[in-house]
Every structure is written in structure tokens, then in C-alpha cells.
Structure 1
Amino acid sequence: MTEPSKAGAKVDWSTEPERSHMWALTLIRLIAVGAGRTLTRLLLHPITLYFVLANGKARRASKDYLSRVLKRPAGLADVYRHVHAFASTVLDRIYFLRERYELFDVTTTNGEVVHRPLREGEGVITIGAHLGSFEAMRAGGEAHGERVAMLMYENNARMINTMLAAVAPKAKLHTIALGQAGAMLALRRFLDGGGIAGMLGDRTLPGAAGRSHTLWFDFLGKPAPFSDGPFRLAAMLKRRVVFSAGLYHGGRRYELVFDELADFRGLSNEPREVVDRLVREALERYVRRIEAACVESPYNWFNFYDFWAAADATPPSP
């Protein structure tokens, strides 16, 4: 791991529109509710084939990632399986949002890490990744009677609300838009009320250098940039941080996995270098946990862009 930098990475994922996401939703939502999940899943094969053949950039990114995680050259069959898993979670998002939980077989691993604090009235920050399905995670929390909010920046919040209006107008997805006036107060109140605040931490955010640092860690055999922003936020709010993922195992099977990453509740007036060290250690545990999840469930990581491209340049100096 190299030292932090406030310089942005050359590759800006935020300029790449997630065409696959909205394209698949737009096509599937027309028949998903009326025809049902079993029939609609048949459409995923032509959709997947089209995406694999038409989107060369995503195809190359998938092959690069899969070759790293599988430790062998990935072929088109591997890419097809990868994209099909993604399309499956996109379809299932519709049913999770419509609270059709009976359609799925959902298991939980290490759930007490997050459920126990919530029973005691303590809010928890969960940090996930583009692994599996966030909707499965949200549904799992709501099935336990827990309140779940997703933290995101304003533009992303508008995008997801637009998607929800089209797919599930009655869905009750609570979002807290970071970067707005009063966002931190709203987040603190939500956590004080015993809620789960979830966010994704496997993409650096261009333009956010003033609020976070980019740290470089070895990830699947090559250095890659990760932002420490989510962990700095948790440290500032003095909260427990839990890794979460809703892994898709094919068919109707999902697994909700949790692991504690850090506990910042004991922070008071520690020197900046102490906080920096604790944040860095928490971020490294997070990167190692993502890496382990990718090895265990390689077709669940849905970053269809060149995640390592920025690492081709020399990591910036401190």
C-alpha cells in the first residue's frame, strides 16, 4: 500500500453512464411484473448476449477482472456468465423493491454483527461494494423490521429516484444525499434513531479530494485506488463500521454477509495522525474483504470498467 494522495485518478468512472443498468431495467420492467420472474428470466439470455457483443469496453473490463480473480485467461463464456449474473440482480431488484420476498431464498452469514447493535438502539454504517445486490441487503434489513438508508451524492440520488419511479413507484427507499446542506445532521439523527446507513466504497469520487484521500492497495495482484472517504465519515460521526454484501448464488439464492471493519465509537480528541492510521487500517481491511468476496464469488463484482487503469500511472506522492 502506498501513501494517500489527493490527486484524482486518470480514469473517471463517473463519466461513464451505466447504460447496462438503465437499459436492462427499461427493457425488463415492461413485462417483469405482468409475466412474472420465471418467464422474464428467459429474456436475460438475449439481453446478456447483446451486451457482451455490443459493449466492447465492458467486455474487455470483465475479461481483465475475471482473468485476475480466476487466475487463468477468461473467455467469452466467463464474460457471459458474469454479465448474466449482473442482469439477474438487475431483474431481481424489481421484485425486491416490490417486496416480493417470497420469490427468493435468502440466507445470512454473521448477521449478529449488525443486528445486535441495532437491537440495542445503536445505528450502524455499513460499507459495501458493487458486489451482488444492494436491494437484497435492504430487503433483508426491512424483513427484520430495521430501517435502512442509502448514502449517496446528489446526482446519484436523483438517478436512483428516477429509476424507482419507473420500476416501483410505491417503493420506500430512503436515501440521504451527501453534499447537501443538513445532510450530516440528517445522517446523525438517522443513526441515533437506530438505523442502518449503507454506502458503496469501491469507487473513488472525482472532485471529492477535499473530503477524502485516495490510497493505493494491492487488489487481485495489481495496485488499485480506493477512497478513504466513507471511513473518515464514520470516524467523524464516531460509529461502528460493518462490511455488507448481498451475494447472488444463482437461481433464487442470495446470501447476506457481514463483517465488522472498525469501531470508531471510542474516538475523542485523538491527534490527526492517529485518526489517519485508524482510517487507513479500516480501509485496508475493507479492501481485503472485497478481495476475499471476489475470490469466493467471482461473478458478483459488477464494476464494468477498467478498475486498474489508473494504476498504470505511478501512484502520486504523499
Structure 2
Amino acid sequence: MSADANPTPTRSWSTTPERSNLLAIRTLAWIATHLGRSVARLVLHPIALYFLLFAPAARRASRRYLGRALGRRAGWGDLYRHIHAFAAVALDRIWFAAGRTDLFDLQISGGAVMEQALAEGRGVYLLGAHIGSFEALHAVGLSRRQLPVAMVMYPENARMIHTVLQALAPHFDVSIIPIGQRGSALAVRDFLDKGGLAGLMGDRYMPDQAVQEGAVQLSFLGRPTPFTDGPVRLAMMLRRRVVFMVGLYRGGNRYDVRFEELADFRQPPADPAAREALVLAAMSDYVRRLEALCREAPYNWFNFYDYWHEDAAA
């Protein structure tokens, strides 16, 4: 592990405009809600083919990632499967938002971890990644306890899809707690204290100076990769246990939802060096789990941009 003092990306995920078109999303959403999930899934094929053919940057990023996750060169079939999985998961947000768990086969593991955390009455601090579906967690919350769910994220991210979901499912309760603003940490603390589920994603690195100072370089899929340790440090500051969550898409209507304890910061040590060691251990464990998931379900990881900053070096 070392501080990432010299990042070189010329374009990051935060500056890459969303390719998705609001009219296209609304059209697909209309088909989904009026004609059903089966018909809407048929429309995914031409959509995935379009992006495969006419989104060269996303295609290049997918090929590089899949080559590392699969351990071989990714072919056109692999690229199509990757893009189609992303489209399928995005489509299913509509039904998860409406709480239609009856449409899905949800296999849930680690429920005892969640129950134990919820029993403390301080909410649950969840750390995930852009792999599979976070909305699967929302569906579990709705079906079990009517638990409020919030995503701690940059508010500009995925704004269009959330706008459509709010219009189609007025009871869609996934709140957004903006990150990187004054009062963000207090907002997360207050939401958790009310018994909510607060989810953060830890697999995207912001290449601005504020985050550079809090980045660690770890091996991920065989490459040194910068990760921000902000979510882990926030959990320590709020004295929370951290639950790792993932909702893997298994094809069709099947999702594999898992909860695992990642770290426990309820009583952090007073010694600064010991606290730093805990942060590094949690980050290393997080990346190890993420790498294992990428190898287990390679088509589930949805970061279609120059993740390892290879375009700049080319």
C-alpha cells in the first residue's frame, strides 16, 4: 500500500457524460410497465447491440476488464454478455423500486449479519461496489421491515434513471445523501441513527486533490489500482460496523444477495497507528472480496470507463 501521489488519468468516470438518453429510458420504462418485463427484456437485445457497436470507449474498457477477470482475451460474445447484463440490471430497477419482489428469485445469504446489526438500533452501514444490483437490497428492505434506504453518492451520478424511477414508482424511497459536501457525515449519522440502511460504493476513485490525499494503491485483478478509503474512514469516524453487500445478477429473474461483515469500528483504538492499520486491513479485505466477486461473476461489474487509466498511457 502506498499513497497515490501521481495519478495520471485524463478523463475519469466523474467527467464522462452519461450516454443514456432520458427519452430512451422513459420509452423503455413505459414498455416495461405497460407491456411487462418479458417484452421489455426483448428490447434489451437491440439496445445492448447498439452500445456494443457504437460505444468504442465502453467496449474497450469492457474488453480490458473482462480479460483480467476471465483470465483470457474477451471476445465479442463476452462483451455483448457484459453490456446486456448491465442493461438487464438497470431495467430491473423499475420493479425493485416498486417493491415487486414477487417477480424475482432472490437468494439471500448473511441475513443473520443484517439482523444482528439492525438489533443494535443504529441502522446499518453498507459498503458495496458497482457490481450487480443495489436495488435488490431496497427490495429486501421493503419486503421485510419497510426499512428506509439511502445511497451516499455524488448526486449527479445516475440522475436520469432516478428521475424516471421516481415518476414510475412514487413510493421509491431510496434517498440520496450527497457526498463531499459540508454536513454529509452528519447526514449519514442521523440517517443511520433513525434505523436506516445507508449504502456506499467503494470501487470508484475520484482523481481530485481532496481524494488523492485519502487514496490507497492496492492490487486488483493483477494491477496496482487506486481506491479511496473515504467510506472506511467515515465508518470509523461514526463508530459503525461495516457490512459488505452485493446483489449478483444470475440471469433471468435470479439475484444472489449477500451480506458479510467487513469491519467493526464501534470501538476504534485510541492509537493513531492502530487506527490506520484497521483502515488498511478493511480496505485490503474489501478489494479482496471485490476481486473474488469479479472472478466469480465477471459480467456483473459495471464500470465502463478507463478504470486503470490505460488510455493516457497508450
Q: TM-score of the superposition, structure 1-length normalised?
A: 0.90
Q: What is the alpha-carbon distance in structure 1 between the residues aligned to residue 91 and residue 144 of structure 2?
A: 23
Q: 2:241 aligns to what?
A: 240
What percent of counterpart residues are identical?
51
Match in the other structure for 1:188: 189
Aligned to 1:29: 29
Amino acid at match of 2:303: N
Counterpart residue number, 2:178 = 177
Bigger shift: residues 198-207 or 31-40? 198-207
1:252 counterpart = 2:253: yes
- Aligned letter for 1:216? Q
For each residue in 1:205-258, what CA deviation from the matched residue of structure 2 results, as whole angstroms up to 9, or x when unmatched?
A: 233626951111111111111110100111111110111111100000001112
C-alpha distance in structure 2 between counterparts of 1:92 and 1:210, whole Å: 32
> Aligned-pair distance for 1:193?
2.5
Q: Which residue of 2 aligns with 1:144?
A: 144
The answer to whether the Cα contact below 8 Å between 1:212 and 1:232 also exists between their aligned partners in 2 is no
The 1:217–1:179 alpha-carbon spacing in structure 2 relative to 1, beyond 3 Å, is closer
2:55 is the alignment partner of 1:55: yes
Check whether the contact 1:248–1:300 (CA below 8 A) recurs between aligned residues: yes
Which residue in 2 is equivalent to 1:78?
78
Segments of 5+ residues of structure 1 without an aligned counterpart are 314-318
Partner of 1:94: 94
**Which structure 2 residues correspond to residues 298-313 of structure 1 after superposition, within 5 A?**
298-309=298-309
Structure 1 stretch displaced more, 100-109 or 212-221:
212-221
SS at match of 1:107: strand
8 Å Cα contact 1:225-1:311 kept in structure 2: no
| More deviation, 188-197/63-72 | 188-197
User: Which residue is 1:290 aligned to?
Assistant: 290
Give the TM-score taking structure 2 as reference length. 0.91
1:110-125 → structure 2 map (5 Å cutoff):
110-125=110-125
8 A Cα contact 2:97 2:138, kept in partner: no
Cα distance, 1:7 vs structure 2: 5.1
- Matched letter for residue 307 of structure 1: Y
1:183 shift after superposition: 2.9
Matched, 1:12 2:38: no
Q: Which runs of 5+ in 2 are unaligned?
A: none
Q: Distance in 2 between matches of 1:208 and 1:260?
A: 31
CA distance, structure 2, for counterparts of residue 275 and residue 106 of structure 1: 37
Amino acid of the residue matched to residue 179 of structure 2?
L
2:3, 2:213 within 8 Å by CA — same for their partners in 1? no
The number of residues matched between the two structures is 311
C-alpha distance in 1, partners of 2:84/2:211?
A: 38
Shift in Å, 1:160:
5.8
CA distance in 2, matches of 1:214, 1:241: 19
**Counterpart contact for 1:118–1:124, Cα < 8 Å:** yes
Map of 1:104 onto structure 2: 104
User: In 2, distance between residues paired with 1:191 and 1:41?
Assistant: 36
Structure 2 contact 52–79 (Cα < 8 Å) conserved:
yes
Coordinate RMSD, CA, aligned: 2.3
Q: For residues 226 and 240 of structure 1, what CA distance do their matches in structure 2 show?
A: 20
Amino acid at match of 2:40: T
CA distance in 1, matches of 2:211, 2:45: 44
User: Mapping of 1:195-274 within 5 angstroms?
Assistant: 195-207=196-208, 209=210, 213-267=214-268, 269-271=270-272, 273-274=273-274
Change (3 A) 1:289 1:311: farther
Distance 1:158 1:80, change over 3 A: closer
> Per-residue CA shift, 1:93-144, capped at 9, x if unaligned?
0111122221111011222212221023132211100101111122112222
Structure 1 residue 6 displacement after superposition: 5.4
Contact 2:294-2:300 at 8 Å conserved across structures: yes
Q: What one-letter code is carried by the residue in structure 2 that aligns with 1:39?
A: V
